[in-house]
A and B are shown apart, each in its own frame.
Chain A
Amino acid sequence: MRIALFATCLADTLFPEAAKATVLLLERLGHEVVFPFEQTCCGQMHVNTGYQKEALPLIKRYVRTFEPYDVIVAPSGSCVGSIRHQHSMVAAKHGEAGLAARASAVGERTYELSELLIDVLKIEDVGAFYPHKVTYHPTCHSLRMTRVGDKPLRLLRQVRGLDLVELPAADQCCGFGGTFALKNAETSTAMLADKMTNIVSTGADVCSAGDASCLMHIGGGLSRLRTGVRTVHLAEILASTES
């Protein structure tokens, strides 16, 4: 299958391993990945911070860039949620009914990685090998905006060598929330502290998630505390093999 990759601005700039792993995984599974260079950012940061007018060109850019493709994947439950639910809403609110309709259509063809694998490509065992003790943080937008459900866990359970340990209070927010982490830094840090306590309590070596943003926040906290627990994107685990 020919799949267009939306790398997301965060993975493109700061966490290229997550996007690279997405490419290598899909290619290993026999699919063709294309990366349209005109892509940049879905505009979620602008929408969520209260700058819908400023987000509009980014929404147009996303729609224009990915309209030609039948299947689009992003290694982020959060960006996919924004694309599906916010693009058409913002467009409609700014009197762009035509754009809203096009955004809805492109949004329906945009999948988060675990959705693409299970719902579209119909595969749960991607042939990965990852011999580590891993706990999984489901990320709020994956859970409640994109509704990926337990798909990431179903994929992880098939990974050879992987010891999956349950994260207590997994569905509680890690405190990132985009600009929330800056505007309400102290509350955000208090939420992060509880998330880290739960992660450390599992005894896992690795905390994984489907969003580089939450992992950046959690990873930044774990690093500051010198816990030794690493954060690794779901795509990197799934892309990992024995050889």
Chain B
Amino acid sequence: MTTFLGMPATAPRGVGNLRGEQTFPEAAHEALANSQMRRNLRHATTTIRGKSGKVIAELPDWQALRDAGSAIKADVMSRLPDLLLELEQKVTDAGGVVHWAADANEANAIVTRLVRETGSDRVIKVKSMATQEIGLNEALEEAGIAPVETDLAELIVQLGHDKPSHILVPAIHRNRSEIREIFLREMPGVDPALTDDPPVLAAAARKYLRETFLSTKVAVSGANFAVAETGTLAVVESEGNGRMCLTLPDTLITVMGIEKVVPTWQDLEVFLQLLPRASTGERMNPYTTMWTGVTPGDGPQNFHLILLDNGRSAVLADEVGRSALHCIRCSACLNVCPVYERAGGHSYGSVYPGPIGAVLSPQLTGIEDNASLPYASSLCGACFDACPVKIDIPSLLVHLRDKAPHPRSERAAMAAAAWLMDKPKMYASAQRAAKLARIAGRRGRGLPPPLSGWTAGRDLPEFPSQTFRDWWAAR
């Protein structure tokens, strides 16, 4: 029996954090003027790049591991429905409850209902991209439930009424004196004599979080991986806050993008090597927490897994574009991206910044809503080389640009150029005409839009006295 469930839908508007209010060039205009942020970003990405490069160089089989990671992900995408059904069965068998959420609205409604059923008006949160994506914190607050981020960087972002600007290091755009100010202003019970010494700041956050961990009965997490064969969920993290949330509360609610499933435990072996080295430059992440349903007397006694689509099926439907779903959120592509390093994460307008965001966000929302993102790259290819699961981001960008809506004047100019370039004789005449017209004028300054962007910072070359083909013909 087959059931038609409708065409895959993109992520709905008006909820979540996948769409910016500005185009990338508009948002980047503001970010580029923020010299403090650019210094913070450059320092942080340079440091991570160095660390990561060093530990990757230790592995003789890094390229083979990348191939393996890529192959496992391609296999997962080719049989995603079956794997998800297997996962649902195994989680249910182990005492968990599985919910399916078609989009952000459904997922937020399910989590809100589940929290309300516990009677709690506060949840502790493990750092999670999926819940940022769907705007869960905003939805919970609207329902009168206080979400408390427990990842240090996410906490800084939350207290600063800010948005994350990096997948892994959400507060990468902040320095320690900015963090001190945020803590003094927003952290309940903070010592007014707080200094900007990193250990002092960390101790302040620890004290605040410890109290919160011990007094909150419900936790919300994301998942880095879900193993279909046993129904096991996994979260990898560095601070241990995640493990507190995953073990202390009575109720645990996990929101997971459907692409996070892997077939077997053996597949985890590959990703647990790839992820920390590509991501934080560590040989192994400090905390790997895994849980399978409910274990009586140990850990949360109620476990809910929400399988989130929110546009993923639409991405999966594109044979080329679907490889964006291979992403394991390591952020290696952000750390090597020269565009990200200058423009910062907020310019991408989505919870997924950087190169992977430029290909993932427009696919999740529909390209019309994020049409400037595939162009937020110089196609330098550094992201492809850095990606631990070998996502060919430059090719994806080119693929999406081909689908993006184009400005009418650009379309006309490109069509005219192609037409002319397909006629060598007319092309040669045009080359000579352009030289005579001296469109460059005044040493190339002050060209009209869209060429004005060039002459704002660069001189145009002088037209040579003779084209190459004329030189060749005259030889």
Q: Which residue numbers of A lie inside 8 Å of B, CB to CB?
A: 7, 9, 11-17, 19-20, 23, 35, 37-41, 43, 45-52, 54-55, 57-58, 61, 85-86, 89, 140-141, 143-145, 171-173, 175-192, 216-217, 219-221, 223-224
Contacts and interface: CB of A to CB of B under 8 A. Distances in A.
A29 B66 CA distance: 42
Contacts of B385: 144
A188 B378 contact: yes
Contacts of A216: 461
| 10 nearest CB pairs, A to B | A185-B453, A177-B378, A220-B458, A50-B401, A144-B381, A173-B380, A140-B380, A189-B457, A16-B468, A54-B418
B375 A183 contact: yes
B457 A185 contact: yes
15 contacts: A9-B421, A16-B471, A23-B472, A49-B414, A50-B374, A51-B402, A54-B414, A144-B380, A175-B338, A176-B378, A178-B379, A183-B375, A184-B375, A186-B29, A189-B458
Nearest to A61: B422
Say whether chain A's binding surface is mostly helix, strand, loop, or mixed. Answer: helix
A192 B457 contact: yes
Contact of A20 (B395, B403, B450, B471): B471
A38 B425 CA distance: 8
B406 A140 contact: no
A224 B466 contact: no
A186 B32 contact: yes
A127 B422 CA distance: 38
A40 B381 contact: no
B451 interface: yes
B40 to A, nearest CB: 15
B466 A16 contact: yes
Nearest to B38: A190
A53 B1 CA distance: 40
A51 B414 contact: yes
Given A177-B377, A180-B377, A186-B29, A12 B467 contact: yes
Contacts of A221: 457-459
Given A47-B398, A220-B461, 13 more contacts: A13-B467, A51-B414, A89-B395, A140-B382, A141-B379, A144-B382, A175-B338, A178-B378, A180-B375, A182-B453, A189-B457, A192-B458, A224-B459
Q: Which of A20, A86, A89, A186: most chain B CB closer than 10 A?
A: A186
